[in-house]
Amino acid sequence: MKALIIGAAGFVGGYLIRELKAAGWEVHATCLPNEEIKEECFTYPLDILKKEDISPLLDDIKPDVVYHLAAQSSVSVSWKRPQLTAEINVVGSINVLEAVRDAERKDMRLVLIGSGEEYGYIREGACPLSESEPLNPGNIYAATKACQDMLGKIYARAYKMDIILVRAFNHSGPAQSNIFVISDFCRQIAEIEKGMKEPVISVGNLSAKRDFTDVRDVVRAYRLLGEKGVSGSVYNVGRGKAVEIQYILDTALSYANQPIEVKRDPARMRASDIPLIEPDVSHIHADTGWCAEITMEQTIKDTLDYWRKKLMSYGTSIGTEP
């Protein structure tokens, strides 16, 4: 099998490259010209806002599966930069869809990575969410991903394209940016342990319930969908059990080597936050056999250990930033 990963310089990209290579795939990957892909594979510079650059690459590589990972994936950033989020997530996705449609190879599979955030404001009693649940986005990022989802369905039906639609719920693990909650908590704890800041951790809304899956499980799901997913289908990817952010914080703090005070920070509160998001993952299990295997506690511990190691080379004075 031959894969092309579009947008592989990000957090998930490196893990997906390793997962596919371990399974014997030939892996090609793209990133922006100013980015770097650290994993060993065939790499190419690509900006998905330039559709004219995507088509020649597809015709040169002729992959079996295209994984479209390129996105502005932060909810908080989407509130601050809505135009940028829409441009990358909607216009960029149209460019990818058009390039795949126009490609010389007509049987390549396109896996469009969406988000569990697309479900948005959920009907009472609707959780766990099946893939047939209507989408009702509650933030700008989610709206752009719901638009990608609808576009994928339109292209699949209108042009008979082999498209798999993924709604991936929250995933985390070592090396994730600290703009995401588990990594944020773990980095703050590691900084406190190193004496780089006062023993106070800043937090936002702790009552929201979210489904968290280890990124290493998530990329295994992506591989299996590339191999076994049913064309035209939508798949939730998640653990299938939501927990409060408070539990994430308490677990992370239980691994700290000193007492830490918790302080709520209004700047970390979102303009809109959905109380509960939890998926039904029976569909992907039925079609591929996939289910999450790595515990949430292990993910948190591994992420904290990652930050501890990363900060070892930095100074120890309070306020020092890496």
Per the structure, how many domains does the chain have? 2
pLDDT at 266: 80
- Are residues 66 and 85 located together in one domain of the fold? yes
- Are residues 13 and 64 located together in one domain of the fold? yes
- Are residues 47 and 144 located together in one domain of the fold? yes
Residue 63 covered by a domain:
yes
Encode 72-110: b = buried (16+ Cβ within 10 Å), e = exposed: bbebbebeeebeebbebbbebbebbbebbeebeeeebbb
Q: What is the pTM of this model?
A: 0.93
Nearest to 110 by CA among 6, 216, 1: 6
Residue 105 covered by a domain:
yes
Cα 25 to Cα 4, 20, 97: the distances in Å are 10, 5, 23
Tokens 């441009």 map to which residue?
87
Question: One digit per residue, pLDDT tens: the chain, 322 residues?
Answer: 999 999 999 999 999 999 999 999 999 999 999 999 999 999 999 999 999 999 999 999 999 999 999 999 888 899 999 999 999 999 999 999 999 999 999 999 999 999 998 998 899 899 999 999 999 998 999 999 999 999 999 999 999 999 999 999 999 999 999 988 999 999 999 999 999 999 999 998 899 899 999 999 999 999 999 999 999 999 999 999 999 999 999 999 999 999 999 998 887 765 556 788 899 999 999 999 999 999 999 999 999 999 999 998 775 544 444 4
Paired tokens of 191: 């900084």
pLDDT at 277: 86
pLDDT at 317: 46
- Are residues 161 and 25 located together in one domain of the fold? yes
Residue 167 covered by a domain:
yes
Distance between CA 292 and CA 285 in Å, rounded? 10
- Which CATH number belongs to the domain containing residue 252 in this structure? 3.90.25.10
Paired tokens of 114: 């969406």
- Are residues 9 and 154 located together in one domain of the fold? yes
- Are residues 162 and 245 located together in one domain of the fold? no
Task: Please give the residue range of the domain that contains residue 51.
Answer: 2-172+212-237
- Are residues 193 and 226 located together in one domain of the fold? no
Residue 11 covered by a domain:
yes
- Are residues 219 and 202 located together in one domain of the fold? no
- Are residues 202 and 150 located together in one domain of the fold? no
- Are residues 100 and 204 located together in one domain of the fold? no
| pLDDT tens digits, 40-96 | 999 999 999 999 999 999 999 999 999 999 999 888 899 999 999 999 999 999 999
Q: Work out the percent of the chain whose per-residue pLDDT is above 70.
A: 96
Residue 263 covered by a domain:
yes
- Are residues 197 and 162 located together in one domain of the fold? no
- Are residues 114 and 201 located together in one domain of the fold? no
Interhelix angle 92-102/140-159, nearest 10 degrees: 20
Residue 285 covered by a domain:
no
- Which CATH number belongs to the domain containing residue 159 in this structure? 3.40.50.720
Write the burial class of residue 38 (CB in 10 Å: 0-12 exposed, 13-18 middle, 19+ buried): exposed
Residue 283 covered by a domain:
no
